[in-house]
Structure 1
Amino acid sequence: MIAVVGHTDLTEDAHGVVRAALRTRLAQAPAGTGALVRAGRGLPQVYGRAAREAGRPLTVVLPAEGAVPAPLPAADRAAAGELLLLAEQVRLLPYDPAVRDTVVAADERLVGAARTLLAVWDGSPSDGSDATAHLVAYARARSVPVEVVWPAGAARSGRAERAPGVRRGRPAAGPVGRRPGTYGPGGRDLRP
């Protein structure tokens, strides 16, 4: 499978050029190669559409509470609905979509399940709201091939899109979280 991660603050104008670049890359993959994405608005939606256009089976990952899907933030629900219509498979993963740390941990699981990672990334470092650089380093440390996708015309709005109610930090309880000692104050990645 080919997973995607990337900036959550792509401009609306960038969606078209990023979608075309992702579609081209997916079309070049060996026959039968699937696409893997965590449900949400923005880049996941763009990737889902690109996968459909490239004729790739799409697997969408939804948050779970136990054995049932967990509610997504309101801002992600319509996009998740579209992704579910595009998907050939849906997988549940225990994480709290309202807690940034568990979302990053879920993305790490996607990276670990991928044969290749497409990173829609401008090369900027991770900060308290964007973990793209961390996920690229995570993939490379695990020998997952990474292809950076940043076509001409791609741009960021300069603000990460955090859904209302999304908070940083550890969940009150739950099976998925960050590994101790990996992150410092403010969510900074402390890995070399």
Structure 2
Amino acid sequence: MSGHRSLPPATEALIAEALGEALSPITDDITGLTCLADGADTLFARAVLAQGGQIEVIVPAEHYLAGLPGEHHAEYRKLLAQATQVHRMPFTESTSEAHMAASQHMLTLADELWAVWDGQPARGYGGTADVVQAARDFNKPVRTIWPSGAARG
């Protein structure tokens, strides 16, 4: 999973619904890979768990949590505790390079990339557009989720 962060509440609701609809026909065991950032990553993790699946978490850096919004910390910890496996990257600081390395590691484990993406260029290195391009470079299928009416903050 890769997707936008800091989404408006109305967009989060649209994306949560779209993810639930996309996951509902899947009857096989589902394992979602996510970094649990605020926004799309968390919505995806919740949807996978609600579907009866499991999540694996990729932690980009030792200080990753410190770089996330304070209001997201409790949710991050709650979802991290539900992970069946946690992959920790060898970075200390939560930088764009660490985030992109985590995404590339995720792609080595994933069968396909689900991207909550508006189709626009990344706002910084390691953004959703960069992860989508990396997935294509790895010949991974990309499933884009961006419901009608969604907007970035």
Q: Partner amino acid for 2:124? A: G
CA distance change for structure 1 residues 146 and 64 in 2, over 3 Å: closer, same or farther?
Answer: same
- Runs of 4 or more above 6 Å deviation: none
CA distance in 1, matches of 2:144, 2:4: 12
What residue is the counterpart of 2:59 in the other structure? 62
1:143 aligns with 2:142: no
Q: Partner amino acid for 1:59? A: E
Question: What does the per-residue CA deviation read over 1:18-37, in whole Å, with 9 as the maximum and x for residues that have no partner?
Answer: 11211222233351121110
Question: What does the per-residue CA deviation read over 1:80-131, in whole Å, with 9 as the maximum and x for residues that have no partner?
Answer: 1121243233222223452112111211211221101111111101232662
- In our comparison, the structure showing a higher alpha carbon Rg is 1
Indicate the RMSD between aligned Cα atoms, in angstroms.
2.1
Q: Partner amino acid for 2:99? A: V
Counterpart secondary structure, 1:144: coil
1:78 aligns with 2:74: yes
Structure 1: tracts of 5 or more residues without a match: 158-192
1:44 aligns with 2:41: yes
1:22 aligns with 2:19: yes
* TM-score for the superposition, normalised by structure 1: 0.69
The number of equivalent residue pairs is 150
CA distance in 2, matches of 1:16, 1:152: 12
What residue is the counterpart of 1:165 in the other structure? none
Q: Partner amino acid for 2:102? A: A
Q: Partner amino acid for 1:88? A: T
1:35 aligns with 2:28: no
**Whose helix proportion is higher, 1 or 2?**
2
* TM-score for the superposition, normalised by structure 2: 0.85
CA distance in 2, matches of 1:101, 1:156: 23
Q: Partner amino acid for 1:113? A: L
User: Bigger shift: 74-83 or 44-53?
Assistant: 74-83
Structure 2: tracts of 5 or more residues without a match: none
Taking only the aligned residue pairs, the percentage that are identical comes to 31
